[in-house]
Structure 1
Amino acid sequence: MNSIFIALNLLKRMVGGKRALLIHIVLPVAAISLLIGIVGGSDKDDYSVAYVNADQGIMGAYFVRELQEAHAYRLTGMNTVEEVKKSVTDRKAAAAIAIPPDFTERLLKGETPEVSLFQLNVSEASATLRLHAESAVGRFADIVRLIAATGASGDEMIAKLDEALRRAQNKMITSSVTDLGLVPRDGVRFATGFMLMFLMINISSTVNLMIEDRRIKTMSRVYTAPVRSLEIAAGNFLGSFLAGSVQLVLILLFTRYVLRFDYGLPFFSQLLILELFLIACVGLATAVAGVIRNSQSAGLLNTMLVTPSCMIGGCFWPVTLMPDWMQKLSYFVPQRWAIDAIQNVSAGYEVASVGLHIAVLVVFAVVLLGFGSVTLQPHKTEFDR
């Protein structure tokens, strides 16, 4: 019961007055909804692909011609791998392909070389492009092996290979890219990432309230009553969770039914995953409030914790673009698990299939809340050690 009173008091301080309601609810919800509407709604029907052909033989040219004949992509040739990568990061191209210098040489040796595919988002078109590229390379390798079995080599083999590829491409059936809803839309990950960052930033405001309570000795006065440290921590936890839930529900309702943004998954499935992430965030805020003693250090929370964890967790860019050691590190932040869960459900999986993600988010919340209840020490003031 004591925790409920503390929670209601914290909620009243955050959204009770007109000014608090405007600062903590109206403006943040409007800003993040507008950002999701702009960024998430920027998907295009055409699929532009930048490519660089570093191959000196005939196979690289046939690979590019195969993509051109498919009529499914808008190709743009470039000179270096750095240029095609930059075109993707600058969003001038949806994806990029780099054909290695030894592409023809390795095929003639009987190997199956790989072409490099660069992309920021996973979509139906990008999956089709990857399958198309792998299919073309595999077919080229099969043709080379068949010609080699006839005993041809050197210039004779290249001539027969050229003739066989010409006949094959003249008979090639063109294809088109169709969105079947089998993978998440490009904007879903960005919209989810921005939403998670917004939730963490707003939950961090509760840390400031806890530190303020410690500074003016409100927390220590509550502790002198028959209220345990765990109850105080649980009350702040519950109040932060209620305030965050109000913000979260308003964002989902506004973006879904006013801006008409399609997340690709049911409302309640998305709300469940985001609420679990919110619980983990509140647990983190409680733990940080227990560690930070100086109110002047509270401003470092976003710089030292929120922004880096969002970067590592995939809120700003796909985790797959990061080095391997950073990808492994991302499993230690809740953003990675929440984004992966939403993308999996958006791709057509059931909520039960992301049970591991849900369990990890719950573990984050339990561990952090337990740590926060121990380190909060409400009987101490700002300057006590």
Structure 2
Amino acid sequence: MTLPVALAVTRATVRRTLRDRTALFFMLLLPVAIIVVIGTVVGGFDQFRIGVVHSPGEGPVAVELAGDLDRSDGLETRAYASEAAARTALRRGELDAAVVLPAGLDSAARAGRPVTVPVLVEPGGGSGYAAVSSVSAVVSDHAARIQAAHFAMDRRGGGFEERLALARVTAQRVRPVGITTLTPSDRGDLLPLGYSYSAPTMLVLFVFINSLAGGAAIVQTRRSGVYARALAAPVPVRALVLGETGAYLALALVQSLLIVTIGALVFGVSWGDPVAAALLVGMWALVGTGAGVLSGAVFRTPEQAGAVGPALGIGLGMLGGCMWPLAIVPGWLRAAGHAVPQAWAVDAWTELLSRDGGVADIAGRLAVLAGFAAVLLALAALGLRRRLTEPVPGGPG
């Protein structure tokens, strides 16, 4: 009798939650919105904001240089009609640097005279000086094509435009020497930037928060006397506990799968080794399930669960590295963060997404999460069993 009743309780709870528009908003729409916001902001950290000041009547050489800057992966360019406007944007912090295309760039390039391309930066802006290196690389590539065009003119004759076009085509055909930067251990301590950062961290954050907040439904059901009437049927207490636990696990898995699917299809997130990712999602769902059912057993009113649960979840998420990487915080704070399960889950995602890890690489972290899940589920089962067998304050029975 226990299993059929437990399944019936699971179906009823899941159906009731999925019909609740507010619950669906917090399960799906809010996490996706936060993923978009954080992914967009964090994704810009690997690009420098460059202003390009155009000169009146600039020729094709200047236009081509501006296009090279715009097409560079490490630069996000914005066009300005005057140097004064670019300087204003620099002072406001809207740009990391500004490139001023000289008025005589085309004539100097055709004549083979030296050309200086000014790059403006704010004295106190550290990112501006780093941006100069990226700009210099683009300008150097552009200058190399001009030099190649003049070399061809000296050896074979022809016009400047013709030889510059030949140099441009040759540059596209010839594969340049590449430079790869590696850390000494060849391992990353941070999640990839952009949506590959926001999607896994928000999965960890919101599955836990929604599970805690969802404890309000258990409290409401308990206070309404539904459990008391079911026990009078009689229905075994263990069937109710098992049924609610199964419902919270199903909801946590549904939310996780939705975030994973949307992250992969809409935002292009690669979740790493599929077996390892599935194990991690399942284990984190168990952690969230234990927290959610425990919330329903501990809190006395739905208002308490709805107010304290999300606040607690956000606090633990901040401590565990869902808001910022623990790799950048002091050692004592990093150690304190690993007192909560969120840190171990984020570490496991970092292993999968940044280091191409597999099941063996996250086995230790999965074991720690399994320990958290076992403790939370045991406390939840004991707490809910005790709550279901005590009188309902202000309720029937």
**TM-score normalised by the chain length of structure 1:** 0.60
Structure 2: state its 5+ residue gaps. 51-73, 76-92, 97-129, 131-176
CA contact (8 A) 1:237 1:282 kept: yes
Q: Which of the numbers 16, 22, 25 marks the counterpart of 1:23?
A: 25
Q: What's the secondary structure of 1:31's corresponding residue?
A: helix
Which residue matches 2:215? 207
Q: Distance in 2 between matches of 1:179 and 1:91?
A: 31
Which residue matches 2:232? 224
Q: Which of the numbers 336, 351, 363 marks the counterpart of 1:344?
A: 351
Question: Residues 32, 364 of structure 1: CA spacing in aligned structure 2 closer, same or farther, 3 A cutoff?
Answer: same
1:254 paired with 2:256, answer: no
Which residue matches 1:3? 6
Q: Following TM superposition, by how much is the alpha carbon of 1:8 offset from its aligned partner in structure 2, in angstroms?
A: 0.9
Q: Which of the numbers 15, 33, 36 marks the counterpart of 1:34?
A: 36
Question: Residues 305, 175 of structure 1: CA spacing in aligned structure 2 closer, same or farther, 3 A cutoff?
Answer: same
Which residue matches 2:323? 316
Which residue matches 2:278? 271
Q: Following TM superposition, by how much is the alpha carbon of 1:204 offset from its aligned partner in structure 2, in angstroms?
A: 2.5
CA contact (8 A) 1:280 1:368 kept: yes
Instruction: Give aligned-pair identity as a percent.
Output: 23
Which residue matches 1:378? 388
1:296 paired with 2:303, answer: yes
How many matched pairs?
Answer: 264
CA contact (8 A) 1:4 1:235 kept: yes
Question: Residue type matched to 1:246 in 2?
Answer: V
Which residue matches 2:246? 238
Q: What's the secondary structure of 1:349's corresponding residue?
A: coil
Q: Following TM superposition, by how much is the alpha carbon of 1:329 offset from its aligned partner in structure 2, in angstroms?
A: 2.3
Question: Residues 194, 178 of structure 1: CA spacing in aligned structure 2 closer, same or farther, 3 A cutoff?
Answer: same
Q: What's the secondary structure of 2:368's corresponding residue?
A: helix
Q: Following TM superposition, by how much is the alpha carbon of 1:252 offset from its aligned partner in structure 2, in angstroms?
A: 1.2
Question: Residues 369, 286 of structure 1: CA spacing in aligned structure 2 closer, same or farther, 3 A cutoff?
Answer: same
Question: Residues 25, 303 of structure 1: CA spacing in aligned structure 2 closer, same or farther, 3 A cutoff?
Answer: closer
More moved, 176-185 vs 331-340: 176-185
Which residue matches 2:342? 335
Q: Following TM superposition, by how much is the alpha carbon of 1:381 offset from its aligned partner in structure 2, in angstroms?
A: 5.1
Which residue matches 1:12? 15
Structure 1: state its 5+ residue gaps. 49-72, 75-89, 94-124, 126-173
1:67-216 to 2 correspondences below 5 Å: 176-178=179-181, 183=188, 184-187=191-194, 188-216=196-224
Q: Distance in 2 between matches of 1:10 and 1:274?
A: 21
Q: Following TM superposition, by how much is the alpha carbon of 1:325 offset from its aligned partner in structure 2, in angstroms?
A: 3.5
CA contact (8 A) 1:294 1:383 kept: no
CA contact (8 A) 2:49 2:94 kept: no
Deviations 1:38-62 (A, max 9, x none): 24543525699xxxxxxxxxxxxxx
Which residue matches 2:364? 356
Question: Residue type matched to 1:383 in 2?
Answer: P
CA contact (8 A) 1:215 1:381 kept: no
CA contact (8 A) 1:36 1:255 kept: no
1:44 paired with 2:51, answer: no
Q: Distance in 1 between matches of 2:217 and 2:279?
A: 27
CA contact (8 A) 2:209 2:313 kept: yes
Question: Residue type matched to 1:253 in 2?
Answer: T
Q: Distance in 2 between matches of 1:186 and 1:261?
A: 11
Deviations 1:113-163 (A, max 9, x none): xxxxxxxxxxxx9xxxxxxxxxxxxxxxxxxxxxxxxxxxxxxxxxxxxxx
Question: Residue type matched to 1:318 in 2?
Answer: P
Question: Residue type matched to 2:25 in 1?
Answer: I
1:286 paired with 2:267, answer: no
**TM-score normalised by the chain length of structure 2:** 0.58
Q: Distance in 1 between matches of 2:210 and 2:357?
A: 30
Question: Residues 300, 26 of structure 1: CA spacing in aligned structure 2 closer, same or farther, 3 A cutoff?
Answer: closer
CA contact (8 A) 2:283 2:370 kept: yes
Q: What's the secondary structure of 1:302's corresponding residue?
A: helix
CA contact (8 A) 2:216 2:302 kept: yes
Q: Following TM superposition, by how much is the alpha carbon of 1:253 offset from its aligned partner in structure 2, in angstroms?
A: 1.2
